[in-house]
Chains A and B, each alone.
Chain A
Amino acid sequence: MAKFVKTKRAFLIGTGIVGGALVLGTTLAWRRVANAQNFKPPVKDGETAFNAWLKIMPDSTVVVQVPRQDMGQGIYTTLAMLVAEELDADWGKVRAEQSQINPVYGNIVALGDSAPPPMKSAMLAMARVIGLQLTGGSTSVRDGWEPMRTAAASARAMLLGAAAAKWNVPVTELTIEKSIVKHAASGKSAPFGEFAQAAATLTPPSSVTVKAPKDWKLLGTSPARLDVVEKTLGKAQFGIDVRLDGMLYATVKHIPYVSGHLQEVRWKNGTPPRDALHLARGDNWLAVVATSYWSAKKALDEAELVGGGDTGTVLSSEQLAAQYNEVLDGKNDGVLDAGVAHLKPLRRTFGEHGNAEKAIASATTAQRIDAAYSVPFQAHAPMEPMNCTVRIAGEGKDGKVDVWVGNQAPTVLQWLAAGNVGVPSENVTIHTPYLGGGFGRRVDLEVIRQALACAKLTGGKPVQLIWSREEDIAHDAYRPAISARMSAALDDKGGLLAWHHRMVGPSVSKSVFARMNPLAAGDFPPDVTNAEGAAHLPYALAHFKCDHAQVDLPVPLGFWRSVGNSYNAFFVETFIDEIAVALKKDPYLFRLELLKDQPRFARVVDAAASAAGWSSALPKGWGRGIALAESFKSIVCQVVDVEVVGKDIKVRRVVSAVDCGTALHPVNVKAQISSAAIYGITAALKSQITLKDGQVQQRNFDTFPLLKMAECPQFETVIVNSGAALGGIGEVGVPPIAPALGNAIFAATGKRLRGLPFVL
Chain B
Amino acid sequence: MPTALTLNLAPVTLNAPDDKPLLWALREDANLVGTKFGCGIAACGACTVQVDGVAMRSCSVPLSFVAGKQVTTIEGITAIGPNAVQKAWIEHQVPQCGYCQSGFIMATTALLEKTPDPTDADIDAAITNLCRCGTYPAMRLAIKKAAQLKKAGG
Contacts and interface: CB of A to CB of B under 8 A. Distances in A.
A436 B99 CA distance: 5
B132 interface: yes
A677 B97 contact: no
A700 B40 CA distance: 9
Interface in B59-106: 73-75, 77-78, 82, 86, 89-90, 93-102, 105
Contacts of A714: 137
B125 interface: yes
B78 to A, nearest CB: 5
Interface string A379-393: 001111100000000
Contact of A700 (B24, B43, B133, B140): B43
A39 B97 CA distance: 30
B136 A236 contact: no
Interface centre among B31, B96, B138 (most CB of A within 10 A): B96
Interface stretch (A220-228, A488-496, A530-538): A220-228
A712 B20 CA distance: 35
A292 interface: yes
A439 B123 CA distance: 27
B144 interface: no
Given A72-B133, A231-B95, A709-B124, A702 B43 contact: yes
Contacts of B82: 232-233
A97 interface: no
Contacts of B38: 383-385, 469, 701
B24 A294 contact: yes
Contacts of B43: 700-702
Contacts of B127: 709
Interface string A223-266: 01101111111111110110100000100000000000000000
Given A437-B97, A709-B140, A383 B46 contact: yes
B20 A384 contact: no
A667 B93 contact: yes
Interface residues of B, number: 55
Nearest to A223: B93
A483 B142 CA distance: 41
Given A437-B132, A678-B134, A383 B97 contact: yes
B21 A675 contact: no
Contacts of A230: 98
A675 B96 contact: yes
Nearest to A702: B43
B39 interface: yes
B128 interface: yes
A241 B75 CA distance: 14
A74 B96 contact: yes
Interface residues of A, number: 59
Contacts of B133: 72, 383, 437, 675
Contact of B24 (A73, A236, A292, A469): A292
A498 B46 CA distance: 50
A294 B97 contact: no
A702 B42 CA distance: 10
B93 A468 contact: no
A300 B55 CA distance: 30
A671 interface: yes
Interface string B112-154: 0000000000011101111111111111100000000000000
B100 A383 contact: yes
A677 B134 CA distance: 8
Given A235-B78, A294-B24, A708-B130, A384 B125 contact: no
A676 B36 CA distance: 23
B97 A469 contact: no
B53 interface: no
Interface centre among B35, B132, B138 (most CB of A within 10 A): B132
A756 interface: no
A232 B86 contact: yes
Contact of A437 (B28, B73, B99): B99
A667 B138 CA distance: 11
Contacts of B28: 249, 292-294
B94 A228 contact: yes
Given A385-B38, A437-B132, A708-B136, 19 more contacts: A234-B101, A235-B34, A240-B33, A243-B33, A381-B132, A383-B97, A383-B131, A384-B36, A384-B38, A434-B97, A437-B133, A667-B93, A671-B135, A674-B137, A675-B135, A678-B134, A700-B39, A707-B134, A709-B127
Interface of A: 70-74, 224-225, 227-238, 240-241, 243, 249, 292-294, 381-385, 434-439, 466, 468-469, 667, 671, 674-679, 700-702, 706-710, 712, 714-715
